[in-house]
Chains A and B, each alone.
Chain A
Amino acid sequence: MTIWREHLPALLLALPLLGAFAAPVAGHFGSRARNVWFVSITALTALVAWGLWQQVSASGIVVYVMGAEHSRLTLPSGMALPVRILLEVDAMSALMAFMGAIAALAGALFSVRSMERFSGLDQFVALYLLLTAGMLGMEITGDLFNFFVFLEIASVASCGLVAFWRDRPEAVEASFKYMLLSTVGALMVLVAVAFFYGRYNTVAMAGVASHLQLGLAEKAALVFLVSALAMKCGTVPMHMWTPDAYAEAPAGVTCLLVAVSQAALYGLFRVCFTLYGASLGSSAVAWALIIMGLLSMFIGVTMAVIQKDVKRLMAYHSVSQVGYMLLGMGVALLVLSDPQKMAAYGAMALQGAVYHLFNYTMYKGLLFLVAGALAYAAGSRNLNDLGGLGRRMPQTAALFVIAAAAIAGLPPFNGFVSKLMIYESSFAVHPLLPVVAMVTSMLTLASFVKVFQTAFLGPEKAALREVQEVPGFMRGGMALLAVVVLVLSLFPTWSVGSFVEPAARALMDRAAYVGAVLGGGL
Chain B
Amino acid sequence: MSEIITADVGDVLGYTGEMKRIGAILLKTVLLGISLSLVAGCSDSWNNPYPEATKQANTVYSAFAERPKHLDPARSYSSNEVEFTGQIYEPPLQYHFLKRPYTLIPLTAEQVPQPRYLDAAGKALPGDAPSARIAESVYDISIRPGIRYQPHPAFARDAAGRYRYHALAAADVAAKVQVSDFEHTGTRELVAADYVYQIKRLANPRLSSPIFGLMAEHIVGLKALGESLEKTLKAQPDAVLNLNDYSLAGAEAVDRYTYRIRIKGKYPQFIYWLAMPFFAPVPWEADVFYAQPGMVEKNLTLDWQPVGTGPFYLAENDPNRRMVLKKNPNFHGETYPADGDAADRQAGLLADAGKPLPLVDAAVFSLEKETIPYWSKFLQGYYDSSGISSDSFDQAVQFSAGGDPQLTDGMRKQDIHLITTVSASIWYVGFNMLDPVVGGLGEDRQKLRQALSIAFDYDEFISIFLNGRGISAQGPIPPGLFGYVDGVAGLNPYVYENQAGRIERRSIETARRLLAEAGYPNGRDAKTGAPLVLYFDTMASGPDAKSRLDWMKKQLDKLNVQLVVRGTDYNRFQDKIRKGNAQLFEWGWNADYPDPENFFFLLYGPHKKVTSGGENAANYDNPAFNRLFERMKDMDNGPERQRVIDAMLEIVRRDAPWIFAYYPKSFGLRHGWVHNVKPNLMANNTLKYRRVDPALRDTRRAEWNQPVLWPIALLVGGMVVVIAPAVIAWRRRERTIA
**B is bound to A:** no
The interface of chain A, by Cβ under 8 A from chain B, is none
Binding site for A on B (CB under 8 A): none
